[in-house]
């Protein structure tokens, strides 16, 4: 199989889908890898390093898309890339289609086999290809949030860890999954007063066992969210429903009750966001806006700001799945691996992920009912 890796074009997206090590794994297995010129520079990998690992360097994104049987990316394709779609193309990347109706329709119209990193799901419910970026984003949420609490950045002028004789800042995290847990670790490490809310009491018990009195745990409901948000210096949205739009849990009225100069970081923005006052996606170039006196950070590709770490962490988990697809072919790979099959969002013009279909009110076809799959 020919695997292609174009350069990412999203604002300040410096990650790349394959590291030189990942290229070497695929080439050693007998496959061909084509890379767009300078695709890895943002992550610190040169064309020469990729060539030494066995990749062929092509001059343009069009060359890569047209040559490859399977295109690997980091972020969802942007409209200027839709022209490269074609029947039979395998696209393996983060897609977040529940928040991307135009992309969904472009993939369907062009009969692309689109496999989303974020919906590959193991039997225990875990999301192995989303986990490393959730770890990065959770830790970054505290890192960027504390920066914007500084007065010159529009914040209320709070040092999140306080100092002797001065109370620490209050960090509220909605969601106790991978993002929320990593955010809590970072915030507690800085000495903040941390509250985490989740709908699952068992998850709250696990967090309490891990962190005891260092972490306040609350069951997530509208009353507890309102009380916690009102007192927050830094609010982090960390809610995820696999493949679906994030629920709006923090209302505009709740945000209005926050003190001026407080900061909100919504990590769920790439799935539509969980904060009602966030009505736009921001970029690393212009990461924040102020509404009701509160600083809102809504960057959809947070890990792109730390591309070296993020690229290596992502490639660690994506390459084994890419190798399986390349070795077996997509049909055999999906038949053999039920977790990978859950990653299929579109195939041959059919929308095969229910949450995406519901988000856009489009027809849903279970993967095993797509014509031709009965022989798998």
**Is 270 designated active site?**
yes
Structure tokens at 29: 């297995």
For residue 26, which phi and psi values (nearest 5 degrees)? -70, -40
31, 233, 266, 270: which is the annotated catalytic residue?
A: 270
Spatial CB neighbours of 320, under 8 Å, sequence gap ≥ 6: none
**Euclidean distance between the first and final Cα of the chain, in Å?**
20
Buried b (16+ CB within 10 A) or exposed e, 204-242: beebeeebeeebbbbebeeeebeebbeebbbbbbbbbeb
Phi-psi region of 177 (alpha: psi -120 to 50; beta: other; left: phi over 0): beta
The CA distances from residue 211 to 18, 83, 183, 217, in Å, are 36, 50, 13, 10
- Residues whose CB falls within 8 Å of the CB of residue 227, separated by 6 or more in sequence, listed in order: none
124 given a catalytic annotation: no
160: phi then psi, degrees, rounded to nearest 5 = -60, -30
The one catalytic residue in 96, 266, 296, 350 is 96
The DSSP secondary structure of 289-344, one letter per residue, reads: EEETTEEEE-BTTGGGGSHHHHHHHHHHHHHHHHHHHHHH-HHHHHHH-HHHHTTE
| Tokens linked to 111 | 């009969």
Give the residue numbers of the binding site.
15, 75, 134, 198, 203, 220, 239-240, 267-270, 280, 299-302
Sequence ranges of the binding site for NAD(+) = 134, 198, 203, 220, 239-240, 267-270, 280, 299-302
Count Cβ atoms below 10 Å from residue 317 Cβ, excluding itself: 17
The residues carrying an active-site annotation are: 96, 270
């Amino acid at each position: 199989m020919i695997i292609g890796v174009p350069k990412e074009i999203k604002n300040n997206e410096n990650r790349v889908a394959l590291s030189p090590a990942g290229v070497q794994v695929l080439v050693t297995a007998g496959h061909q890898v084509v890379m767009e010129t300078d695709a890895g520079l943002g992550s610190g990998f040169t064309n020469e390093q990729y060539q030494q690992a066995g990749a062929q360097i092509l001059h343009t994104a069009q060359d890569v898309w047209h040559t490859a049987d399977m295109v690997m990316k980091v972020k969802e394709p942007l409209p200027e890339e839709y022209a490269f779609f074609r029947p039979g193309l395998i696209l393996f990347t983060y897609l977040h289609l529940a928040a991307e109706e135009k992309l969904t329709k472009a993939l369907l119209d062009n009969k692309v086999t689109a496999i989303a990193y974020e919906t590959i799901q193991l039997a225990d419910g875990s999301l192995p290809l989303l986990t490393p970026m959730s770890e990065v984003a959770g830790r970054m949420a505290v890192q960027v949030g504390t920066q914007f609490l500084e007065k010159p950045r529009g914040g209320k002028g709070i040092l999140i860890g306080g100092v002797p004789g001065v109370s620490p800042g209050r960090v509220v995290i909605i969601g106790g999954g991978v993002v929320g847990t990593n955010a809590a670790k970072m915030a507690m490490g800085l000495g903040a007063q941390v509250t985490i809310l989740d709908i699952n009491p068992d998850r709250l018990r696990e967090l309490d066992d891990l962190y005891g009195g260092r972490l306040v745990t609350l069951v997530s409901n509208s009353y507890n969210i309102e009380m916690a948000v009102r007192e927050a210096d830094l609010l982090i949205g960390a809610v995820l429903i696999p493949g679906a739009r994030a629920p709006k849990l923090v209302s505009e009225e709740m945000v209005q009750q926050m003190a001026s100069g407080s900061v909100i970081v919504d990590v769920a923005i790439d799935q539509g966001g969980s904060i009602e006052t966030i009505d736009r996606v921001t970029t690393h170039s212009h990461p924040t806006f102020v509404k009701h006196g509160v600083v809102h950070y809504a960057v959809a590709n947070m890990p792109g700001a730390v591309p070296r770490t993020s690229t290596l962490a992502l490639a660690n988990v994506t390459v084994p799945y890419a190798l399986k697809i390349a070795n077996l072919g997509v049909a055999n790979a999906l038949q053999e691996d039920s977790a990978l099959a859950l990653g299929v969002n579109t195939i041959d013009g059919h929308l095969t992920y229910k949450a995406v279909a519901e988000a856009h009110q489009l027809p849903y076809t279970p993967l095993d009912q797509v014509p031709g799959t009965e022989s798998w």
